[in-house]
Structure 1
């Protein structure tokens, strides 16, 4: 929306032209004290009336006449001095204000607002209600592309507008407690941003899966079911985060991985077949180069090192590294990294899908992180932020990228010992250097006190919604210019949907209310809406829930990997020779089909109120019956044939081998073989 779309008024209204001293005018009081940034105004409420006091309130703007110009001030405190109010007498009260700027009248009669003050108010200067035309001049974002995002809290007839290019080029942040409307404000700003900049591509790191509903016609949703993020796109530290499951890597294993990964990448480039052969190719491929390679080649190289005669000390680390990699491949939660689609060179398809190049009318990508294992979320976020910066860097300004980090304090925490270092570095690089290459950053957090202050300081436009924590309020106060520090004095009590906006995209700090978003475009999590279903906790299918928890149905098909791994091992063992025909190859292992099971029914669970079958206790046996049983056992023992014991005078004779003496036969065979056993 352009500037001419804003509500404008060429001339002052009839109320603005009233004489300052006539009854019912805009006169409020007079200046009794003034400093470089603040002024104190005294006023009188006659005979206990409240007609004048109703025009004063904390957070309102007033103007002070100084010659032809008008100084603009913000009310931040007021009191009566006596801390009492007389119903039948005059009441004197004082108003504390903060000076923001002035409306200058040029020689040609044109009026414009400036944040600087050329002439300060003198004692006795008249303070009056601000004109509507002055409010519009103050909050006019200037020439260029502006967008209306709401209304001023002081006067809802005045639009609250921002300069979109300034907000995007120098980053922005939205902070506020849970439930104040941050997600709704983000969706509103993004709608305005894509309208203002057709080149803009937006990547939303969505940890709660709530932004997909806000952009049904302008976004694509990527989750673990539709994501193919090849493992070879990761750098060494990012891949180690996956292999070691978020724990600190073992230095010896990390060094071995750094040495082996380039060889696996060169093996993939050497031929289309799975070849694990040493090559003399001299190239610049390192462990961080984003070129494809196969896990089968990597594991075969590890096996080759294990089979060497030298290097006994490193073999335990190699075996441990191999087990970690195989465990990651077999984990069904990592299917998006190790599926069959990630083995070939698919970097073009991956970039086109995630970063919307081309956009096809959907410039926003909602990347849902809730289904990704928590131990590798930081690694995935690092890859995405790093690639977003590189796309802006190497596209020569053809693509404008905006990375929106929801719950940003998870990726760049204030404590340098927490978080994932590559993720912190990738986001910090966008914050510090992104504006040079058309890459912007949007920070959304409910705890600015836990966010790295270096990242927050790079956001030149800030929307501060209600914050209850004192530490978070102090962080916001430190970011606001000194001339507007009192603006945050009421930040803990503003309503839902309200914000105090300040920075490069806004001429002066303003208290505003965001426009309402249509109900069907509100952000909502997958499970936030009530789903109409006839099932209840007594009839729900518990087997289905457990199956989804275990992710059994979504497990990866690793049969092709096992086959390629077996082929790689055979190539390593037989080199260029054909393997012998009698060497069996292991067949691809596939999971046996699950037997059909009955759907869960409530009657499968034991219930305390279910009728129980009576248990019959057999009567005790009589004495005669027990004696008869003993007699039968004794008769059976007597009928069992006994084997004759071995006697010394046995007639068994030792066997003798033909053609040999008895002595040689005894020495040649064991003693047990010298007797006939028949």
Structure 2
């Protein structure tokens, strides 16, 4: 449809920078403007209007509407109407871009410098113009997913190109109960429906996403934690659980405990948070020596010349306190550990061995005559770290999720850390390009992780993933969408709690896109998130937010939002969102489609249950 065939609803009377004033014609009182090709609203701030600019159509967003008294309007017989006693209805709009003809197609250019001329006619936007404005680049026409429909008219589908949406990370924000989980499930479902070789890993904090994938194939759910005890009348203690069915039914999750050594050398340092000057050197020595110690049947931690102690060969017991027994040999054995002079054991020792090694490396001091001793003052410097290790080892909540018993085989001491990290990354995040993978969607159910452990455990998981991701290189990583639900639990601002933060996720946010990793960061409290992660997201889907701190966090991070867009966020109804960023030509308010099936995140039915 050409501009000439569309009836005018008004005309331009003033240009003030990018601000445009439009007088509505007498027959259009600021209501809906309808035509053969659909209906577009010009009745409220936020609506779009077209303005004739010769070969182009300038697109402006209405920000204000007002009456103008006749004596302040322009003189009669100018434009298309005479001044009468009825006040003029006037729109104030800002240019947001223009539509031009590109061969046989229309193309929207998001640049605000092009303006109409005085007296140019204002026209409503038909559905084909709206599709050009809300649409995607020509090179992404065949790789789009549908998110919903525009909120005002419900006539235009909102599609986004998958490359533009995911290549530079996506943030999904909104208060609880306004549809974040529904949107995340919908996006995952539609990506899977269109892109058969997609790979999605979901950090499912509350255990709600399994229901959204029932009936699909190549979906796997892993619950981090121990297998719960089964009733004796249903299962034998020695019974092997049946393999999960090919079609996902949400009833056969795999229970998995993370071996503590899978966090890796750097991950364990991040997990235990040692101080730099005194505790970190002792912990580093402990981690380097871990393969040379073992535990006996009495839970004593010892090191020796052979795999098994005997009466004819020497061994040395390590302790986690500052006792004076056997310290005349301490210097000799610590020297052997530092120089890697003791043959390795074939299995990993228990996690608590770290406490003994840290204590021994941290408390050693020397007397004036050159002998070594366990020094109480030096021990006091590493005692807080020893206590942290002991507390984690004795915490059933931590032990339920992380396997602290050790006893797994050490195949190659020279690469023992890297092998364990890669094995865990392959299981949780997927294998590299060219290796067989038995799932496309992996739901990591994190319901068993305690809130105070979430930053440590999940931050360490991201730490190990980032290590392997960057070591594999750009061409060996399979493109993966990592959906981080309730991210404020573990992607916290490093300035909020100094010394307790795990910042591997910041490197993922900064450089992950180059290594085929896309983050979908979903949270109800963006103000509690790392500001670096927010700043690295180039696309935003914001549902309703009402807290001023959260809105400010959004204000400081977005690229092409404006105050009018931000002012709408606090009043969005349930299921409506505003999308903006590199995947959107302009900030778009749209109604999100319902995911089918839905995730298990509905509100409690208090009235019906209590009745």
- Asked if Structure 1 and Structure 2 have the same fold, meaning a TM-score greater than 0.5 normalized by the shorter chain, the answer is yes
Per-residue deviation, residues 308-333 of structure 1 (Å, max 9, x unmatched): 95132335667776565444323322
Indicate whether 1:33 and 2:2 are aligned.
Answer: no
Q: What corresponds to 1:401 in structure 2?
A: 480
Map 1:239-388 to 2 at 5 A.
239=268, 252-267=278-293, 279=336, 292-295=348-351, 298=354, 301=357, 310-313=373-376, 314-315=378-379, 325-335=389-399, 336-340=401-405, 343-345=408-410, 347=421, 349-357=423-431, 362-388=439-465
Partners in 2 of 1:475 and 1:281 — Cα distance? Answer: 48
Partner SS, residue 394 of structure 1: helix
Tell me: CA distance 1:52–1:312, structure 2 relative to 1, closer, same or farther (3 Å): closer
2:175 paired with 1:141: no
Structure 1 residues 172 and 327 mapped into 2: Cα distance closer, same or farther (>3 Å)?
A: closer
Counterparts of 1:154 and 1:466, CA distance in 2:
17
**Between 296-305 and 406-415, the greater mean CA deviation after superposition:** 296-305
Distance 1:312 1:390, change over 3 A: closer
Q: Distance in 1 between matches of 2:551 and 2:386?
A: 49
Distance in 2 of aligned mates of 1:411 and 1:304: 33
> Are the counterparts in 2 of residues 243 and 328 from structure 1 also a CA contact under 8 Å?
no
Query: Displacement of 1:110 after TM fit?
Result: 4.4
Closer, same or farther: CA 481–382 of 1 in aligned 2, 3 Å: closer
**Deviates further, 33-42 or 170-179:** 33-42
Q: Pick one of 231, 234, 249 that aligns with 2:263.
A: 234
Q: Quote the residue 1:63 is aligned against.
A: 50
Q: How many residues end up aligned between the 2 structures?
A: 498
Rounded to whole Å, the distance in 1 between the matches of 2:421 and 2:308 is 20
- 1:155 aligned partner: 153
2:174 alignment counterpart: 176
In the TM superposition, 1:434-473 aligns within 5 A as 434-473=512-551
Query: Which is bigger in relative contact order (C-alpha 8 A, separation at least 6)?
Result: 2
CA distance in 2 between counterparts of 1:48 and 1:441 reads 46
Given the alignment of the two structures, is residue 78 of structure 1 paired with residue 74 of structure 2, yes or no? no
Superposed displacement of residue 436, structure 1 = 1.1
Q: Report deviation, 1:362.
A: 3.0
2:242 paired residue number: none
Provide structure 1 residue ranges, at least 5 long, that are not aligned to the other structure: 1-11, 21-25, 286-290, 537-678
**SS of the counterpart of 2:373?**
coil
Shift of 1:97: 1.2
Tell me if 1:203 matches 2:184.
Answer: no
Distance 1:62 1:449 in 2: 35
Task: Answer whether contact 1:405 1:444 (CA < 8 A) is retained.
Answer: yes
2:99 — aligned with what? 103
Instruction: Name the stretch that deviates more: 35-44 or 304-313.
Output: 304-313
Larger Rg: 1
Instruction: Give the corresponding residue for 1:221.
Output: 222
> CA RMSD of the aligned region, Å?
4.0
Per the TM alignment, residue 165 of structure 1 is displaced from its structure 2 partner at its CA by 1.5
**CA contact 1:151–1:513 (8 Å) conserved in 2:** yes
| More helix as a share of residues | 1
Task: Provide the TM-score with structure 2 as the length reference.
Answer: 0.70
2:188 to 190, 202, 216: 190
When residues 239 and 59 of structure 1 are mapped into structure 2, their CA distance, relative to the original with a 3 A threshold, is same
What is the SS of the residue equivalent to 1:521?
coil
In the alignment, the residues of structure 2 paired with residue 173 and residue 379 of structure 1 have an alpha-carbon distance, to the nearest angstrom, of 22
**Paired residue for 1:410?**
489
CA 1:164–1:420 in 2, change beyond 3 Å: closer, same or farther?
A: farther
| Whole-angstrom distance in 2 between the partners of 1:494 and 1:304 | 59
User: What is residue 564 of structure 2 aligned with on the other side?
Assistant: 486
Unaligned runs of 5+ in 2: 35-40, 71-83, 227-254, 295-302, 310-314, 317-332, 365-370, 411-419
Determine the structure 2 residue equivalent to 1:127: 122
TM superposition shift of 1:484: 5.2
| Residue equivalent to 1:588 | none
Q: Is the 8 A contact 1:242 1:376 kept in 2?
A: no
